[in-house]
Structure 1
Amino acid sequence: MDILHTCMNVSDADELADWYVDELDFERSWEFTSEDGETRNVYVADGQGVEIQLSDTDGEDEFEFGSGWDHLAVKVEDVDAAFDEIDHHGVVQEPSDQPAAGARTAFVEDPDGHVVELIEPL
């Protein structure tokens, strides 16, 4: 069994896709629009082919983040460099070592406020 994708509701699929491509080196993989024309889905993929589905429904641009969703984790070569280079939209946690996890991590927000964890294995 493999994880194929995670779907996130977003305010502007193109803006968010551009952010994941420009800031985290994902690639646009494909897209489709619902039959009623109201929801556009743009997919971005990491280097292993795991995708994020960015689902943009007309008129929906504010979302409540429930307690069931926490963050998306992305492996990076150098957390400090990535943290300094990424045009993030909020700092949740600055870079720090997590010895129990064997990693250095930082948490930032994407343009819609989804939390993205940057992980550098130690």
Structure 2
Amino acid sequence: MIGELHHYGVTVSDMEESLDFYRDSLGLAVSERLSFASEEFSTFVGVEGVDVDIAFLDAGGGAVELLEYAAPPGGDANEGVENNDVGAAHVCLEVPDIEAVHDDLNGTVEFLSPPQRLSNGAKVAYVFDPDGNVVELLEA
């Protein structure tokens, strides 16, 4: 019934600032840009009067979808959210060398901590996009 993961979508406050992060800092390529201001899209997302700019970025076996709503204005879903809160979410992206990525991006991207080696052997780090959305980097 269910196929492969197609994309992970996240609402952002500023498309260009988010593209600076996902495209320029993390290296994801923009594969498609769309915009919708239609009754059908409003019905689809359950929000009246939608005007939205969308960018899809290639993430290997799937995509990251960035959505900036020009209208109507929304709130900040990350306000006061901790990683252990029900509903807290993150997207995980594989990197070949997490220490090198940390060294390269530290100071320009906010890391929650330096890379950590977990008891299962995985090397991981959480970073925050410009809106505070969590992105996990996993050495693969």
TM bucket, shorter chain: 0.7 to 0.9
Aligned residues: 118
**SS of match in other structure, 1:55:** strand
Instruction: Name the residue aligned to 1:96.
Output: 116
Gaps of 5+ in 2: 39-49
Instruction: Name the residue aligned to 2:62.
Output: 50
The AA in structure 1 aligned to 2:10 is M
The AA in structure 2 aligned to 1:19 is F
- Larger Cα-atom Rg: 2
**SS of match in other structure, 2:117:** strand
Partners of 1:113 and 1:34 lie apart in 2 by 25
Larger relative strand fraction: 1
Instruction: Name the residue aligned to 1:64.
Output: 77
The AA in structure 1 aligned to 2:133 is H
* Seq. identity, %: 27
- Residues 10 and 61 in structure 1, CA contact (< 8 A), matched pair in contact too: no
Answering whether residue 139 of structure 2 is matched by residue 120 of structure 1, we say: yes
Q: Which runs of 4+ in 1 moved over 3 A?
A: 59-62
- Residues 8 and 91 in structure 2, CA contact (< 8 A), matched pair in contact too: no
- Residues 17 and 44 in structure 1, CA contact (< 8 A), matched pair in contact too: no
The AA in structure 1 aligned to 2:115 is P
Instruction: Name the residue aligned to 1:110.
Output: 129
Partners of 1:79 and 1:11 lie apart in 2 by 28
Q: TM-score normalised to the size of structure 2?
A: 0.74
Instruction: Name the residue aligned to 2:41.
Output: none
Superposition RMSD in Å: 2.0
